[in-house]
Amino acid sequence: MAVAILVPGGGGLLGTELSRVCPPGDLLVAPKSHELDVTDPETTAAELGRFVAAAARRRLPAVVINAAAYTDTDAAESDRHRAFQVNALGPGHLAAACRAHGVPLVHVSTDYVFDGTAGEPYEPSAPANPLNVYGQSKLAGERAVLGSGARAWVVRTAWVYANHSANFVRTMARLEQERAEVSVVDDQTGSPTSAGDLASGLLSLAAHVAEGAGPSARLLHYVNTGRASWYELAREVFAHLGADPRRVRPCTSAEFGSPAARPACSVLSVRAWVEAGLPVPRPWTAALPEVVASLPDRGQAAAAT
Ligand SMILES: NC(=O)c1ccc[n+]([C@@H]2O[C@H](COP(=O)([O-])OP(=O)(O)OC[C@H]3O[C@@H](n4cnc5c(N)ncnc54)[C@H](OP(=O)(O)O)[C@@H]3O)[C@@H](O)[C@H]2O)c1
């Protein structure tokens, strides 16, 4: 059944992928931040009202996928107020508007709510203990959404990349062209995730909840399966670009010296997602080559020659 989907943050990495993979029969409205600012409760309620009316005219069940966020983890350390406005207050405003209109909400969150010390993949029920301001603000957003009284689901994801927008895979492809060697952190392990796969998974969940169904578990994880350090991921990117992976050198987080602390191991378990009957994520090693091959500045040119 076709659905109508509103995607605040429609101009970002995930928002762009949601527009790209959305089935043609669905109505997807993806406002950019200047068109729907989630920190403004009046604008948010008004835009949701317009969307609900458009969905009703098309006789489509409506659902919201929130892709809006303040995502600069390092900048958030010195910009706490704005990070909490966008990542905590904003989702709260959106959830309140969804509740008022009776529209279900799928909200996206992060592995950075965890401190990375568990030593095993994190289940959604594992205790959160964010190490940085970004993670704290996202955890506050999760709580605002789940405590709002809206029909809402929170989906945590991690290490998201695509062939567009700012992300690690594109950065590595650029550095492969610019530098003889690249130092990459080898003491942080996580779940590299294709934005296209994540978008498809979220659309499956959204279709269920728009039809009045949806998993009983309100907190879920979606990532590509398997694990890697940033260093291991960078080597795979180099290999798929046809470059020598030995040009990637391991370094420590301390040597790299980012302003924000990050979890040492924030691999997410998708068990609850799969048990809810949602599409089984594929391994990150299967998803990555497709994205690298489609990089506009390298992969397509290489494929064309
Ligand atoms: N990328 C990752 O590796 C990763 C990992 C874990 C979780 N996540 C989560 O995944 C979700 C999507 O992130 P993403 O990777 O797509 O990030 P992104 O590329 O930075 O996109 C976020 C979007 O939100 C918009 N935005 C910022 N402030 C807003 C506001 N007040 N109102 C409405 N929109 C606003 C931004 O617009 P402007 O550019 O105009 O500010 C941008 O288009 C987020 O919830 C993020 O926390 C991402």
pLDDT tens track for 96-151: 999 999 999 999 999 999 999 999 999 999 999 999 999 999 999 999 999 999 99
The ligand 1 atom at the shortest distance from the C-alpha of residue 112 is 6
Is 131 among the domain residues? yes
Is 201 among the domain residues? yes
Is 290 among the domain residues? no
pLDDT tens track for 63-83: 999 999 999 999 999 999 999
The ligand 1 atom at the shortest distance from the C-alpha of residue 85 is 31
Is 107 among the domain residues? yes
Domain count, the chain: 1
pLDDT tens track for 171-204: 999 999 999 999 999 999 999 999 999 999 999 9
CB 64 within 8 A of CB 94: yes
Domain interval for residue 153: 4-166+192-226+266-283
CATH of the domain at 147: 3.40.50.720
Is 173 among the domain residues? no
**128: DSSP letter:** P
- Helix then strand then coil, in percent of the chain rounded to 5, is 45, 15, 40
Residue in 112, 134, 222, 231 annotated catalytic: 134
| Residue whose CA lies nearest to ligand 1 atom number 2 | 160
For 37, the token pair is 């600012």
CB 31 within 8 A of CB 40: no
Q: How confident is the model at residue 300 (pLDDT cuts 50, 70, 90)?
A: very low
